[in-house]
C-alpha cells in the first residue's frame, strides 16, 4: 500500500497540454476519485502514475520515492482499463495467472492457485475460470480484469473508468463491490471517472479536473456543499446546482435580468453592494410552498419515485427544485418558491470562484 504524491506535474503531447502544474496527494489506503469530463486529463494522470507516460515537468512520488524514471513494472501498480484488455485466446484462469507467472520474482505454483482462487471468489467468477475470455459478457470481462489486478498485491490500484462500458444495473452492483473490495484490502485506489454519481458514492476524496487543472480536492461532502467554483458546482449533483446571475442589494440577492429578490442570511459579509455575483443553490434547498416570495411557472416535472424534480421558470431564469413525490404540481401551473438562505453559495461573477474560498 502506498502514499502517492504528484508535484507540479505538467504533461504536454506536442502542442496540446494535457495537464498543467498538477499537485495531487493520495493518502495510504484512500479511495481517491478523479472526476472530470472527456479530455480533462484524468487518463493522462493515471498513465503518468502507472509509468506508461513520462511527465514533461514535475515529480511523481510513491511512498516518498521519486519514481519518474521507473518503468511500470518497478512501480508495482495494477491498472484496470475501460476496454478490459484481457489477453485473448486464454481462459479466465490463465488471464488471472498471467501477472503471477509473468512476475520477475518467482511465485510458487501452489501460491498461484491460491491467489487465483481467492480473487475468483471475491469477484464471484469461480464458475467462469475455464472459459475463454471471448465468451464472456461485458460485466464478466470487467470482473476478470479487476481480478487480474487483485491476484497480486500491488502498491496502488489504478482504475480508468472501469464501469462506464457496463449497463446501469451492473454498474451499480460493481460500484458497491469495488468499494467493499477496497475496504477489505485496505488498498490505495485511484479511480478515474466522468460520472459524478460514481465519484460521490465511492470516493473518500474527490479531485475535480477541468482542462488539465485540478480545480478542487475534498471529501464528497465538501465538494457537494462547498464547491470551489461554478465549474465544480455544475459538475456534481443531479440535477446540478442552480446558478443565478445577480447582485447584492441591501443584503438581499437580486437576480437579474427579470429581477426577483431573495433574502441572504448575513452571508454577504464583506461583499460590496452591486458587485456582480453568481448565486448557487442546490435543488433540494429550494422549497415550493404557497406564500413563498417568488412566483414561477412549472416548466417540467420529472418523477423519480421518491421525489420529483421540477424545472421552474422565474423571469428568464430556469431552476431545478427537488420536491417530495407527494407534491401535486402540473406543467404550466404557477407556484411560489423560496430558498434556504443558509445554503446559498456566493461566487464571484467574473472569475466564478466561491467567495467562501476567499475569492
Partner 1 sequence: MTDVERNRVVTTVALERLDPRSRAAARGWSDLTIRNMFIIPTIVFLIVFNIFPLLYSLGYSFTDFRASVSAPANFVGLDNYQRLLSDPNIWRNFTVTAKYVIVSVGGQMIVGFGVALLLNRSFPFKGFVTTLLLLPMMMSMAVVGLFWKLLYDPSWGIINYALGLGRFDWLSNPDMALYAVAITDIWMWSPFVMLLSLAGLSAVPKHLYEAAAIDRASNWYTFTHITLPLVSPLLLIALIFRTMEAFKSFDLPFIMSGQPTTEVVAIRLYKMAFQEWQTGLSCALAYIMLIVVIAITNIYVKYLNRVKER
Of 22, 26, 79, 144, the one binding partner 1 by CB under 8 A: 79
Cis peptide before 133 (omega within 30 of 0): no
Residue 153 in contact with partner 1, rule: CB under 8 A:
no
Of 7, 17, 68, 81, the one binding partner 1 by CB under 8 A: 81
Of 76, 204, 210, 348, the one binding partner 1 by CB under 8 A: 76
Q: Which residue, among 32, 76, 27, 28, has the nearest Cα to 50 in the 3D structure? A: 76
Minimum CB distance to partner 1, residue 217 (Å): 25
Neighbour count for residue 342 (Cβ, 10 Å):
10
Minimum CB distance to partner 1, residue 116 (Å): 14
For 23, half-sphere exposure in the C-beta direction (CA atoms, 13 angstrom radius) is 2
Listed ranges 19-27, 80-88, 180-188, 221-229: which one lies at the site for partner 1 (CB under 8 A):
80-88
Residue 321 in contact with partner 1, rule: CB under 8 A:
no
Q: How many residues bind partner 1 (CB under 8 A)?
A: 27
Residue pair 166/178 in contact by the 8 Å Cβ criterion: no
The vertex-35 CA angle with 33 and 39, nearest 5°, equals: 130
Residue 168 in contact with partner 1, rule: CB under 8 A:
no
Residue 163 in contact with partner 1, rule: CB under 8 A:
no
Residue 98 in contact with partner 1, rule: CB under 8 A:
yes
At 285, phi and psi to the nearest 5? -95, 10
For 25, half-sphere exposure in the C-beta direction (CA atoms, 13 angstrom radius) is 4
- Ranges of beta strands (E only) in 187-250 are 188-193, 205-210, 213-218, 242-249
Minimum CB distance to partner 1, residue 45 (Å): 15
Site for partner 1 in 223-282 (CB under 8 A): none
d(CA 104, CA 261): 68
Residue with cell 420536491: 323
- Ranges of beta strands (E only) in 14-162 are 16-26, 31-36, 57-62, 65-66, 77-80, 156-160
Q: Which residue, among 340, 1, 336, 327, has the nearest Cα to 153 in the 3D structure? A: 1
Minimum CB distance to partner 1, residue 99 (Å): 4
Residue 85 in contact with partner 1, rule: CB under 8 A:
yes
Of 89, 106, 326, 328, the one binding partner 1 by CB under 8 A: 89
Residue 72 in contact with partner 1, rule: CB under 8 A:
yes
- Of all helices (H) and strands (E), which one includes residue 117? helix 109-123
Of 14, 15, 38, 104, the one binding partner 1 by CB under 8 A: 104
Residue 177 in contact with partner 1, rule: CB under 8 A:
no
**Of residues 81 and 301, the one with the C-beta less far from partner 1:** 81
Listed ranges 65-73, 175-183, 301-309, 348-356: which one lies at the site for partner 1 (CB under 8 A):
65-73
Listed ranges 50-58, 123-131, 204-212, 329-337: which one lies at the site for partner 1 (CB under 8 A):
50-58
Residue 333 in contact with partner 1, rule: CB under 8 A:
no
Q: Which residue, among 185, 187, 217, has the nearest Cα to 30 in the 3D structure? A: 187
The residues that touch partner 1, with contacts defined as CB under 8 A, are 50-52, 71-73, 76-79, 81, 83, 85, 87-89, 98-99, 101-104, 132, 138, 148, 165, 167
Amino acid at each position: 500500500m502506498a502514499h502517492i504524491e504528484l508535484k507540479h506535474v505538467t504533461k504536454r503531447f506536442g502542442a496540446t497540454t494535457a495537464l498543467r502544474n498538477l499537485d495531487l496527494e493520495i493518502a495510504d489506503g484512500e479511495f481517491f476519485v478523479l472526476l472530470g469530463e472527456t479530455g480533462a486529463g484524468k487518463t493522462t494522470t493515471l498513465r503518468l502514475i502507472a509509468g506508461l507516460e513520462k511527465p514533461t515537468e514535475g515529480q511523481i512520488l510513491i511512498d516518498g520515492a521519486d519514481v519518474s524514471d521507473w518503468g511500470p513494472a518497478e512501480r508495482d501498480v495494477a491498472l484496470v482499463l475501460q476496454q478490459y484488455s484481457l489477453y485473448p485466446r486464454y481462459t479466465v484462469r490463465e488471464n488471472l495467472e498471467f501477472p503471477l507467472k509473468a512476475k520477475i520474482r518467482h511465485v510458487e505454483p501452489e501460491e498461484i492457485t491460491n491467489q487465483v482462487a481467492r480473487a475468483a471468489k471475491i469477484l464471484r467468477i469461480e464458475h467462469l475460470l475455464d472459459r475463454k475470455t471471448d465468451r464472456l459478457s461485458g460485466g464478466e470481462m470487467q470482473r476478470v480484469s479487476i481480478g487480474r489486478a487483485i491476484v497480486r498485491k500491488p502498491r496502488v490500484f489504478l482504475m480508468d473508468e472501469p464501469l462506464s462500458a457496463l449497463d446501469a444495473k451492473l454498474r451499480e452492483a460493481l460500484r458497491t463491490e469495488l468499494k467493499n473490495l477496497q475496504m477489505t484490502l485496505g488498498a490505495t485506489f485511484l479511480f478515474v471517472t466522468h460520472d459524478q454519481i460514481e465519484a460521490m458514492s465511492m470516493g473518500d476524496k474527490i479531485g475535480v479536473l477541468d482542462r488539465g487543472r485540478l480545480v478542487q480536492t475534498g471529501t464528497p461532502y465538501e465538494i457537494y456543499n462547498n464547491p470551489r467554483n461554478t465549474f465544480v458546482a455544475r459538475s456534481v449533483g443531479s440535477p446540478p446546482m442552480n446558478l443565478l446571475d445577480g447582485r447584492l442589494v441591501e443584503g438581499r440577492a437580486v437576480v437579474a435580468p427579470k429581477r426577483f429578490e431573495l433574502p441572504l442570511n448575513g452571508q454577504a459579509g464583506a461583499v460590496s453592494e452591486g458587485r456582480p455575483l453568481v448565486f448557487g443553490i442546490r435543488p433540494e434547498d429550494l422549497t415550493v410552498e404557497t406564500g413563498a416570495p417568488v412566483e414561477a411557472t412549472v416548466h417540467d416535472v420529472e418523477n423519480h419515485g421518491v421525489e420529483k424534480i421540477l424545472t421552474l421558470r422565474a423571469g428568464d431564469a430556469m431552476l431545478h427544485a427537488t420536491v417530495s413525490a407527494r407534491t401535486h404540481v402540473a406543467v404550466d401551473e404557477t407556484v411560489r418558491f423560496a430558498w434556504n438562505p443558509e445554503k446559498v453559495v456566493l461566487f464571484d461573477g467574473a472569475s466564478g470562484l466561491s467567495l467562501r474560498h476567499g475569492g
